[in-house]
């Protein structure tokens, strides 16, 4: 049997403070999709060939570049081009966010958060780097504009988890675990202050949450 290629991907978690706790912007995917059909997900997708070149051209300060390389260091270990890999992740996240939600974020807006690899045995496998993106109440907001979803909207984390437990909304394990972690943190300020250690999750078995700060 031919091994399924694990493709690098990025997902961005837009968060904001709501009246009843943290809210996230999620997409409810079409039931006809060949991967994650009918589930609620965060905006994102696989890294395209052009993202490496776009990442290399991003106007990052030395401080921001070093911070991203450091944040992913526990996950990647020693690699030939840690800077290039970090820049490609940022470029992918910015592109996917703009394409799927119309929101134009800056490189400094994306906070490295987590990484999950699709378990073996799945027909499609992805190595997904997650970023958190804090969005204030004023100014531009993400919107529904992707054909891969029937709807995209802000939803309270508590309501999403309640709907999932009741069978009204489907969540993949990474999404559920990340939502539970964010719910426990409580507000955007606490989320942004965490800087969690990113070691990567395989076989959908996450360690303790919320995680330690790097």
**DSSP state string for 102-141:** -----GGGEEEEEEEEPPTT-SSEEEEEEEEEE--SSS--
Task: Read off the tokens for 56.
Answer: 């290399």
The closest alpha carbon to 15, from 183, 196, 209, belongs to 183
The model carries a pTM of: 0.94
Look at strands 44-46 and 6-18 and give their pairing.
antiparallel
- Enter the CATH code of domain 6-202: 3.90.79.10
DSSP output for 51-68: HHHHHHT----HHHHHHH
Q: How many Å is the maximal CA-CA distance in the chain? A: 52
Residue ranges of domains in the chain: 6-202
What are the pLDDT digits (tens) for 87-116? Answer: 999 999 999 999 999 999 999 999 999 999
Which tens digit of pLDDT belongs to each residue from 3-34? Answer: 899 999 999 999 999 998 999 999 998 766 55
């Amino acid at each position: 049997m031919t091994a399924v290629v694990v493709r690098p991907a990025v997902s961005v978690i837009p968060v904001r403070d709501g009246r009843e706790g943290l809210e996230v912007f999620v997409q409810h995917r079409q039931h006809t999709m060949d991967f994650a059909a009918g589930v609620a997900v965060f905006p994102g997708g696989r890294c395209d060939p052009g993202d490496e070149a776009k990442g290399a051209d991003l106007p990052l300060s030395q401080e921001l570049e070093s911070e991203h390389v450091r944040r992913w260091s526990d996950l990647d270990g020693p690699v030939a081009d840690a800077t290039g890999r970090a820049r490609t992740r940022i470029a992918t996240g910015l592109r996917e966010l703009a394409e799927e939600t119309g929101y134009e974020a800056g490189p400094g807006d994306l906070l490295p958060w987590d990484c999950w690899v699709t378990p073996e045995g799945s027909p499609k496998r992805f190595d997904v780097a997650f970023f958190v993106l804090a969005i204030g109440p004023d100014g531009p907001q993400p919107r529904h504009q992707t054909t891969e979803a029937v709807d995209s909207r802000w939803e309270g984390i508590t309501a999403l988890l309640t709907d999932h437990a009741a069978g009204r909304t489907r969540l993949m394990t990474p999404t559920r675990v990340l939502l539970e972690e964010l719910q426990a943190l409580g507000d955007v300020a606490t989320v942004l202050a965490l800087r969690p250690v990113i070691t990567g999750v395989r076989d959908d078995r996450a360690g303790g949450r919320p995680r330690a700060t790097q």
